[in-house]
Structure 1
Amino acid sequence: MMWLTWRQFRAQAIAAAAALAALTAVLVVTGLHLTYLYAASGVSACQAHGDCGTLASDFISQVKSTSDELLFYAGIVVMYAAPAIIGVFWGAPLITRELEAGTFRLAWNQSVTRARWIAVKLGLTGLAARATAGLLSLLITWWAAPLFRAAELATSSSVSISRLEPPLFGAGGIAPVGYAAFAFALGVTAGLLIRRTIPAMAITLAAFAAIQVVMPQWVRPHLIAPLQKTVPLSVASIQELEVGRNGSMLLIGHPPGIPGAWILSNQTITPAGHVFTGPATQACQTGSFQACNAWLAGKHLRELISYQPASRYWAFQWYETAIFIALALALAGFCYWRVRRLS
């Protein structure tokens, strides 16, 4: 049964190995260059005397002016696409092609039990899915490590990078292993329920994409209670100021220096702790910018920031990976139960 499963999976395995080899060559060559730039920037050496903020900001700005920035974002796209591809092209057809062709009966009539049949298919292909995502994530995490080390030291908000933020979090660490396991199990489940390969592939892609939107928006921020910080709002730190026709105001300041943090919310509050909404003085509606600034300075407003610190990155990685592995195991258990009752 192992040999038969390998024969059926061999083409996908060879394609995945070839893609990994090509990506490894690109990432190793460019990653070594990025590591050299990091060492040459002086960031690693400056940590002995603690004056690294400017050097770290300059290093990130330098990277943003090269092709490494494009490669950075390409890596993010690849890491989000890989689990989806695994679910669509490895998971969904795994059982449906046998159901459509009727070849599953041949295996069952040759002393192979249904339990062993589904266990070998899920185990072997699922292991390959997790290994592929894990190796790819290891490469990209290593490549981007200098950028994230600098981001945790940078003082300029214009070059701020947080690997906790949704676009970056799922593109490194161990979370992609959980995503791949879940996407694969989701594809197999869709195939068993729908029994048609193309519709199962479409449903798998849509469902996995929906989960990848829901998780960072409504689940991940609440896995660990966020921290809060209040700082005085200076006129120089105002990022956005809007005055409505009824005199209401929307006032947003630049987040204070919390290197590498994931900013969840940033509100302007009054000394009493209420959200500031105005009303705006006449100086801010029809007067000069200087007069409006002078009026705001007298209000003694503060910024209330809710955030997740950079130090929680690995805690979030483990929590989220555990959630997706648990979901994958639940779906695998359902597939095992479903196959034993197929007619």
Structure 2
Amino acid sequence: MIWLTWRQHRKQLLYTLVALAVAAAVLVPTGLSMHHDYVDSGLAACIAAAGTGQTIGQNVGDCGRLANAFSQHYNGLAFVGILFVLFPVFVGIFFGAPLVAQEFERGTHRFVWTQGVSRLRWAVAKFGLIGLVALAIGVLYAWGVGWWAAPLLSQGSGRMNYLSFDIQGVVPVAYTLFAVALGVFLGVYTRKVLPAMGVTVAGFVAVRAVVEWVARKHYLGPESIKLPIASTDQLNSYAGDWIYSNSVISATGKTLIADGQLQCSGGNVTSLMTSGTGGMDVGANPCADAAYQGAYNLQLYQGPDRFWDFQWIESGIFLALAALLIGFAIVRLRRIS
């Protein structure tokens, strides 16, 4: 069964290896260039000096200027990185969806089932081999893209941010296995390759969207930090936090600025950042307003030290879903007449 499965899907594996080789030909030189520029420009040293603490002093060097220059230079490559978020679904539609659906379309499943091979053994052999291939592809993908994108993700919200999180650590492997399992499951139920491929894409995107935008922020309760608006320190934007919200709260607990930060010195504004969507009327000089006396900046966030906690939680979710889908697919196969 293993040899038969290999012969049936060796072209897919060959095409995948060619695609990975082409990707490597692009990623390796551009990745080396980014890593070298990240160090040579002084940005790496500047961000390292800022540290991962929640506050930093006024003198943080030229991190902002260096980060902007680096981002502008490699802005186009950042969009390439976003495309890699979709890589697992391509593995799912080319390895998972045709795995069983193609057998039904060609009628080859009848030959195997009449040769004394049980459906369970047939399914385990096919699913197991393709699962190992998907695992290897997922690990290679996660390692390669994670290395390539590291300089781009070292600034601001870093690895915890939406999309950035998705191409780092172990979750790309879990996404890949889930996509393959989803393709297998839909291939068993539709028995048609193209419909299985189409629904795999839609299902993968839908599940990923729900987990990313709804579930992920609830894995762990956010941490908080309070910083008086008169403090000479400032919130560290280079710590790599996933920031939920920023607001300015009065001494009595009233929200003065619903979506922003304020810093004052000598009764004058030294820094004011607001999205303008908070519905608050920020005067020309809020620092001179009596309502702002004793006020503080409040930030809710997930720190970078929770990166692996979030990674393992989300990986567990997708691996559990993958296991359920494979289980349902096997049950369905055994009931097909």
Opposite residue 99 of structure 1, the aligned amino acid is F
| Change in CA separation of 1:112 and 1:56 when aligned onto 2, cut-off 3 Å | farther
1:222 — aligned with what? 218
- Following TM superposition, by how much is the alpha carbon of 1:324 offset from its aligned partner in structure 2, in angstroms? 1.0
Say whether the 8 Å CA contact 2:227–2:296 is kept in structure 1: yes
Task: Pick from 300, 306, 314 the counterpart of residue 308 of structure 2.
Answer: 314
1:92 — aligned with what? 97
RMSD (CA atoms): 3.0
Distance 1:162 1:274 in 2: 31
Opposite residue 138 of structure 2, the aligned amino acid is A
1:135 — aligned with what? 140
| Change in CA separation of 1:297 and 1:181 when aligned onto 2, cut-off 3 Å | same
1:63 aligns with 2:70: yes
Counting aligned pairs with the same residue, the percent is 38
2:201 — aligned with what? 205
Deviations 1:280-331 (CA, angstroms, capped at 9, x unpaired)? xxxxxxx996366633774543332110011211221122112211211121
| Change in CA separation of 1:302 and 1:58 when aligned onto 2, cut-off 3 Å | same
List aligned pairs for 1:268-279, cutoff 5 A.
268-276=248-256
Distance 1:316 1:288 in 2: 36
Say whether the 8 Å CA contact 2:46–2:61 is kept in structure 1: no
1:304 aligns with 2:304: no
Say whether the 8 Å CA contact 1:231–1:256 is kept in structure 2: no
Stretches of structure 2 lacking an aligned partner (at least 5 in a row):
52-59, 259-280
1:340 — aligned with what? 334
- Following TM superposition, by how much is the alpha carbon of 1:116 offset from its aligned partner in structure 2, in angstroms? 1.3
Residue 31 of structure 2 aligns to a residue whose secondary structure is: helix
Distance 2:228 2:3 in 1: 67
| Change in CA separation of 1:57 and 1:77 when aligned onto 2, cut-off 3 Å | same
1:20 — aligned with what? 20
- Following TM superposition, by how much is the alpha carbon of 1:194 offset from its aligned partner in structure 2, in angstroms? 2.3
Say whether the 8 Å CA contact 1:84–1:205 is kept in structure 2: yes
| Change in CA separation of 1:19 and 1:296 when aligned onto 2, cut-off 3 Å | farther
Opposite residue 33 of structure 2, the aligned amino acid is H
| Change in CA separation of 1:225 and 1:137 when aligned onto 2, cut-off 3 Å | same
List aligned pairs for 1:206-285, cutoff 5 A.
206-233=202-229, 257=237, 259-276=239-256
Distance 2:61 2:109 in 1: 63
- Following TM superposition, by how much is the alpha carbon of 1:273 offset from its aligned partner in structure 2, in angstroms? 2.0
| Change in CA separation of 1:65 and 1:256 when aligned onto 2, cut-off 3 Å | closer
Distance 1:180 1:75 in 2: 16
TM-score (norm 1): 0.80
Q: How many residues are treated as equivalent by the alignment?
A: 308
- Following TM superposition, by how much is the alpha carbon of 1:198 offset from its aligned partner in structure 2, in angstroms? 2.2
- Following TM superposition, by how much is the alpha carbon of 1:205 offset from its aligned partner in structure 2, in angstroms? 1.1
- Following TM superposition, by how much is the alpha carbon of 1:255 offset from its aligned partner in structure 2, in angstroms? 6.3
Opposite residue 196 of structure 1, the aligned amino acid is K
Distance 2:15 2:283 in 1: 61
Residue 61 of structure 2 aligns to a residue whose secondary structure is: helix
Say whether the 8 Å CA contact 1:255–1:266 is kept in structure 2: no
| Change in CA separation of 1:300 and 1:136 when aligned onto 2, cut-off 3 Å | same
1:31 aligns with 2:11: no
2:82 — aligned with what? 76
| Change in CA separation of 1:336 and 1:321 when aligned onto 2, cut-off 3 Å | same
